[in-house]
Structure formats: C-alpha cells, structure tokens
Structure 1
Amino acid sequence: MDLNIALILGQDGITSGAIYALLALCILLVFTVTRILLIPLGEFTVYGALTLAAIQTGTPSMVVWLLVVFYVTNTLLDLYSSLRNKTPFNLKLSLSWAAYIAVVMIAMYKLPLATLPAIVQILLALAVITPLGPQIYRTFFQPLVAAKPLVLLIVSIAVHVAMVGVGLLIFGPDGAQTKPFSEKSYELGSLVINSQTIFIVIAFLLMIVLLWYFFEKTLYGKALHATAVNRVGAQLMGISPLFAGKVTFSLAAFIGALSGILISPITTLYYDSGFVISLKGFVGAIIGGLISFPIAAFGAVVVGLIEAFAMFWASDYKEIIVFTLIIPFLLWKSLTSRHVEEESE
C-alpha cells in the first residue's frame, strides 16, 4: 500500500464514518431519553434513499400510504384511549396530522417529481419519511412507556422485521442509487476529493452544530436533555415522557432519512440494507458506552476508517473485523461497571 491508496481509503473511511456517526448519535439520543435501542433506525435510512430515488424517476412513493395507515391506526388508538380514560380527544392535533398528510400526498401525486430541483426532491423525501418516527412511536412504543428495557428491545426488533417486510412490499427487491448532488471533484495534492464526500462531511458537522444548539439553547432541547439525565425528575417537573419519545423519534427519523439520502449517490441500497448500516452506527454507540455523544461520534468515524482499510487488506472479513470491535469495549464495560439488579415493578 502506498500513500495514494492510503489517502483514498482514508477518504472512503471518513465518508462512511460520518454516516455511521450520525446514526450513532441517533441511537444514543433515543436510548438515553426512552431506553429504547432503535433497531429499525436503518430502515429510515433505506426508506429515505429509496423514496428519493423514486421521486427522481418521477414515480410517486407508496410510503405516503404508510403514513395514512399509521394516521388512521393512531387516531383509533387515541379515540379508544380517550373513551377508556375519560379524557378529551385532541381533535386539533388529529386534524393537523390529517392536513399535513394531505399536503404531502398532493405534492407527491400532483407535482412533476422528476423535473423538480434537487433540493425540493430531497425536502419532499424528508417530509415523507420524518413523520414515520413519531407515528411508529405512538403505535408500538407509547403503550409500553413504562415497560422494562428488554421488552422494549423485543418490540424494537419486531418493528424492524415488520419494516423490512413493508420495505420489500413498497420498493420491491431491486436496489436503487440516486443521482449525485454534484459531479465536481477537487484535487488536494495527489488526492482527488469527490464532492459527495464534502457534502457528507459538511452535513455531519452541520447536524452536530444543530443538535448542540437544539439541546443547549432551545426549551424543547433542554426538556429532552433533562429527560436523558433524570427521567423521574424530569417527569416530576412536568416534562411528558410521551412528548420526549415522539420528539426523539422524529429526530431519529429525520437524521436517518438524511443519512440515506447522503450515501445513496455513492452506493446502491436495497430494502434490507438498513440493518447492517445501523449496526455499524451501533458499534460506535457502544464505543461511547451508550452515554457519551462525542466518543460515540469519534468511535463511529474510527469504525468507518477500519472498515475501509479492512476492505483493502481482507475484504472477505471486513464485516467480522468491524463487528468484533465491540467485544473489548463490552468486556471493559462489564468489568468496570457495577451490576445492580433491576427492581421489580
């Protein structure tokens, strides 16, 4: 291996690592606030990429009908809960969701999708996928808000399997790759930097800044941060765990879909590609101990670099090499953490 090859592999590793870092941040965010390991995070990534690919070909994405199914299901669940607990039904929120879905469907079926500017196509894809986050939380996780983490993990796995099946039904077995945002490339010495890599790194850094601003400067962000630090204390101060769950799932769906859109021009994604992608983000989250956001982001970038160099030296074993990275960190965590039996509820 010479210097030029090392630079190319480093560029690929940083590109992949930035995506894994975004997913690792999502995993940590959802887990610290809701105690849910979001296994179907990769499906948001794949759904975002394949939805954008469909829009670029001028084909309305069937994901909008999934939004309709979730809306009807959740409305019925809310009505049942209101009648059972004798609480008022939030008609204003329900009508707002209905109006939003109607606007998205009109845009999907009435606009000339293939000729829209690239930024509008991306925003439309994000507008379709992001609402799936809070809708999925309301359907599957809100009734189990007080359940133990093991129960939530089992439900999360079930949701992942269901979303993979739905993805096959909506997108079919064929993979898709979107058009690149730009064809430009830049020379830095002997290294040719692809513009897509620059977009991914800029998006990663921008999301880091936006997340910092959201959690440190906004009221909703401080409420989520309080929930992550002390769930019981935050609830005693009037912060609803249901509200926190919906907001975190919305952020996870948005960042997951954005990650898929960013990598779709440089790799072909299939309906079942999401699990492996999110699993590599999970390795980064484990390196961060499911606590530290900066260490998780750094660990995910390291995972991307190791994967890139492993692909050169031992391509047949690159997945094994990446996933075995979590073993020493799990052993270290097991040896240095105090084990406390979970109290029975």
Structure 2
Amino acid sequence: MDATILGFLLLDALQNGVIYGLLAVAMVLVFAVTRVILVPIGELMMFAPLSLVWLQGGKLPGTLGLALALGALWALLERGRGRGLPLLGGVGLLLLFLLARGSPALAYPAAIFLVVYLGVASYRVFFQPLREATVLAYLIMAVGLHVAYQGLGLVFFGPEQYRPEPLLSGEVLAGLSWQGVLVLLFALLAVGGLYLFFRLSLFGKALLAAAENRLGARLCGIRPEEAGMVAFAIASLLAALAGLLLAPLINAAYFMGFMLGLKGFVAAILGGLLSYPVAFLGALLVGLFESFTSFYASAYKEALVFLLLVPALFFQSLRARAVEE
C-alpha cells in the first residue's frame, strides 16, 4: 500500500463514517428518550432521495400516501385539540407536494418534510400506544416496521437504483468531490447544532431529562410522549438530510438503507446506546475498519464490520454486571 491508496482509503472512511455517525446519533437519541431501537431509520433515509427523484420527474411518490394514511391514524388516536397538529401537517404536506411538482426548488423541502412527518406519525401510531412495553417488544415492532417499509419501498419505487443530481458538482481533489465536502460540513454542523440544542434550548434540556429519568421528568411537567415525538422528529430530519446528501454519491434504492442503518446501529452499540460523542467516534471507527477491510478482504468486509458487535456487546455485558454488583 502506498501513500495514494492510503489517502483514498482514509477519505472513504471519513465520508462513510460521518454518515454512519449521523445515523448512530439519531438512534442513540431515540433510544435514550423512548427505549426504541430505530431499525427502520435506513428506510426513512432512502425515502427522502427516492421521493425527491419522483417529484423531480413530475410524479407523486407512494410515500406521500403512506405518510397521509399514518397521519390520519395519528389524528384518530388524538383527542380534542391534539388532532390539529396531524391534520394541519398532513394538509401542509399535500399542498407542498402539489406545488413541488411544478417547482424543482420545492422538491427538497417537500422530501424532508415528508420523512419528518412520516417518522413522527410512525412513533405516534406504532410505538406510543406501547408506552409501558419492554425494549424487546419495541424491537420486535421496529423490525416489523423495517420489513413493512422496505416492502412498501419496493412497491412505490421499484427495484431500480436512482442517482439525484448533486447539489455541488466537480471534485476538490482525487477521491473527494464537492458533494462529499458538503456531506462532511453537514455532519459537523449537525453535531454542533445538536450540542447547542441540548445545552441551550428548553426542548433539548427536556429531552435530556426524559432520557435520564422518565418518571422524574413526568413529575417536573415534561411529557415523555411529547419528548418521544421530538426525538423521532430530530432523528427523521437527520436521516432525511443525510439521505439527500449521500444519494448523489452512492445512488438510492429501496434496499440500500438497511445496510447503512445496520452499520449506524453497530456504531451506536459501540457507544453503548447512551453516549452521542462515543457513538459518533464509533461510527468513524466503523468507517475506518470497513474501508481497510474492503481493501484487504473485500469479500468479507460486511461480516468483519459486524464482528465489531462481539467485543462491544461483551464489554457492555461486563459493565452491566459491574453496575449490578
């Protein structure tokens, strides 16, 4: 291996690692607040660029109907004035999509709004009614949603892969495009924004309180259900933006989100599903490990990446046993 190959591998590791990091941070946030392991985050990530491509082609994607159907169920589950949010959101989403068919500039915010609305509606319809369930029950529901959303993605968009036009074209240097730089900048802004959100904003402090002690947060007037909706909204926003920025680099297809989400889950496990900075650092480690294993043992790179779960879970079990003692 010479310096040129090493540079390519490091750049590839950095670009992949920051995407895994964003997904890992989103999963840690959702798990800390709701105890839900957000398995379908990869599908939410792919729904954004696929819906964008459909809109740019002048067609309404099937994901719009899915979001509106879940929004209607959300409204039925609410009582009184609580129905206003899902109904207004659904009407706004439909109007935005109708306008975006004739205006490519509106396609990006429409795709982002769709994924955020779909993520929050999924939490309200499928997870919030199970508020007293165990982590295992949440996991079974999340896996079921992943299977359902992936199957619906095949129905909505077909088996083809799509590559949206990049926001920035050209290359900075060999192996690093301007779109890749945009991905890196977004990752830095997202991490910095989340830090400020949790440290300075009232909503961020409420989320931290709900993650630390749900009963104590409820006694202080913080509703864990609303905290869960905010957590799902932030996670869905991160997934949508990451998908829109990443799709011009790797293509987008209904099946591609699962592997990305699974590697984000590996990074989240490395962080113990509790620490945002450690999860992001774990994601960089996953990206670095994947990049070098793809060079030395490309046929086994996926298996080797997932092997990182073994020492991470072993360490977590030892730490949990030490806490119990």
Partner of 2:244: 261
TM-score, length basis structure 1: 0.89
Aligned letter for 2:80? N
| Deviation (angstroms), 1:339 | 7.4
Q: How big is the alpha-carbon RMSD for the aligned residues of Structure 1 and Structure 2?
A: 1.7
Partner of 2:80: 90
Q: Contact 1:56–1:178 (CA<8 Å) still a contact in 2?
A: no
| Deviation (angstroms), 1:65 | 1.3
CA distance in 1, matches of 2:50, 2:40: 16
Query: Unpaired runs of 5+ in structure 2?
Result: none
| Deviation (angstroms), 1:124 | 1.8
Q: Quick one: structure 1 residues 110 and 197, their matched pair in 2 at CA, closer, same or farther if it must change by over 3 Å?
A: closer
Greater fraction of residues in helix: 2
The answer on 1:234 being equivalent to 2:234 is no
Q: Could you report, residue by residue, the CA deviation over 1:35-78 in whole angstroms, capped at 9, with x for unpaired residues? A: 11111111111111211222233322222211221122122223
Q: Alignment partner of 2:248: what SS?
A: coil
Structure 1 segments of 4+ aligned residues over 3 angstroms from their partners: 110-113
CA distance in 1, matches of 2:72, 2:274: 36
CA distance in 2, matches of 1:307, 1:68: 38
Aligned letter for 2:3? L
Q: Quick one: structure 1 residues 339 and 161, their matched pair in 2 at CA, closer, same or farther if it must change by over 3 Å?
A: farther
Q: Contact 2:25–2:279 (CA<8 Å) still a contact in 1?
A: yes
Counterparts of 1:192-341 in structure 2, within 5 Å, are 193-338=176-321
Instruction: Pick which of 211-220 and 267-276 moved more.
Output: 267-276
| Deviation (angstroms), 1:150 | 1.1
Partner of 1:164: 150
Counterparts of 1:51-200 in structure 2, within 5 Å, are 51-78=51-78, 89-91=79-81, 93-113=82-102, 116-117=104-105, 120-187=106-173, 191=174, 193-200=176-183
Q: Contact 1:25–1:296 (CA<8 Å) still a contact in 2?
A: yes
CA distance in 2, matches of 1:192, 1:142: 44
| Deviation (angstroms), 1:126 | 0.2
Partner of 1:27: 27
Q: Contact 2:75–2:87 (CA<8 Å) still a contact in 1?
A: no
Aligned letter for 2:45? T
Q: Alignment partner of 1:186: what SS?
A: strand
Q: Could you report, residue by residue, the CA deviation over 1:57-111 in whole angstroms, capped at 9, with x for unpaired residues? A: 3322222211221122122223xxxxxxxxxx333x4234323322322232244
The structure with the larger Rg is 1
CA distance in 2, matches of 1:148, 1:224: 20
CA distance in 2, matches of 1:99, 1:236: 30
TM-score, length basis structure 2: 0.95
Query: Unpaired runs of 5+ in structure 1?
Result: 79-88
Q: Contact 1:53–1:176 (CA<8 Å) still a contact in 2?
A: yes
Q: Could you report, residue by residue, the CA deviation over 1:280-333 in whole angstroms, capped at 9, with x for unpaired residues? A: 011111111111111110110111121112112111111011110111111122
Percent identical? 38
CA distance in 2, matches of 1:44, 1:232: 30
